[in-house]
Amino acid sequence: MVAAMAAFALEDAFVKQAAAQLPVAEILVLFGVGGTITFFGLATVTGEKVLNRDVFSPVMRVRFAFELVGRLFYVLALALTPLSSTTAILQATPIFVVLGASLFFGEKVGWRRWTAIFIGLVGVLIVLRPTSESFSLLSVLAVIGMLGFSGRDLASRAAPATLSTNILGFYGFLTIIIAGLVYGLWDRSAFVVPDTTALLALGTAVFCGVFAYSALMKAMRTGEIATVTPFRYSRLLFGVLLGAVWFNERIDAQMLVGCTVIVGSGLFILWRGNKAKTRRT
């Protein structure tokens, strides 16, 4: 899980690096093509069929919609806002997953976890600092991306078990291509011929993304969820560190307080959920 989070953070950094030269739509398309080809190759080697009836199930269509929204707006956030704040906002995903599980799947959430969810939302606001002069509406892009990823994770819970990591990865990256084409039609920015630096950045981002996705699925499918899930928050450490060192971003006290509130709330929600499961068993 820690390796997956480190690779995801590196993927974000290389995508942000490529965004210095290439339009967002082109980044999405090229990044998606690289990942789609890679996962198609892995599926072919292992004898898995990419065209599977379960891929077109209603829950997978919902997952596709959330994946498209999450990927598009998160890449926009990476391109237009600091990496550190984008990563911090993304850490609220588990909080919204629990909220969504309560609202849509009928999972019982006690008052302590509802309180933690509310506190976690306050942490997001601290990072966003909506009353501060430094607030930018562009920061909302990361929030929309985070909500998209939360919906995708919720839909993944109901996804058919017959779909392997390679198949989910193939269609996940295929969604990124579609997101890029859709945004390109709206933005109408002309694609440019990427130079060597941009190609290397995107190629490395694809490699990191494929490795991160595979490592994440391995951790979630073979390890105890209660044990591995809290280590998702290590991505915050890697993201903030890369933002400060690579992109010279300033990490102030308010950012650190917001990060602490978000992570603390998420860990408490996970702890209470695991405790409730223990009592039921």
The pTM score is: 0.84
On the question of pLDDT at 225 being above 70, the answer is no
- The confidence score (pLDDT) of residue 135 equals 59
Question: Average per-residue pLDDT in the chain?
Answer: 86
DSSP code at position 191: P
- The confidence score (pLDDT) of residue 266 equals 81
- Residue range 172-193: mean pLDDT, rounded: 91
- Residue range 89-98: mean pLDDT, rounded: 84
- The confidence score (pLDDT) of residue 280 equals 62
- The confidence score (pLDDT) of residue 98 equals 79
Rounded distance between C-alpha atoms, residue 224 and residue 228, angstroms: 6
255 to 80, 250, 275: CA distances (angstroms): 18, 9, 30
- Residue range 152-165: mean pLDDT, rounded: 80
Q: How is the chain split among helix, strand and coil, in percent rounded to 5? A: 80, 0, 20
Greater pLDDT, 212 or 277: 212
Query: What sign does the dihedral 90-91-95-101 (CA atoms) show?
Result: positive
- The confidence score (pLDDT) of residue 76 equals 93
- Residue range 178-206: mean pLDDT, rounded: 92
Q: What is the pLDDT of residues 16-48, one digit of tens each?
A: 999 999 999 999 999 999 999 999 999 999 999
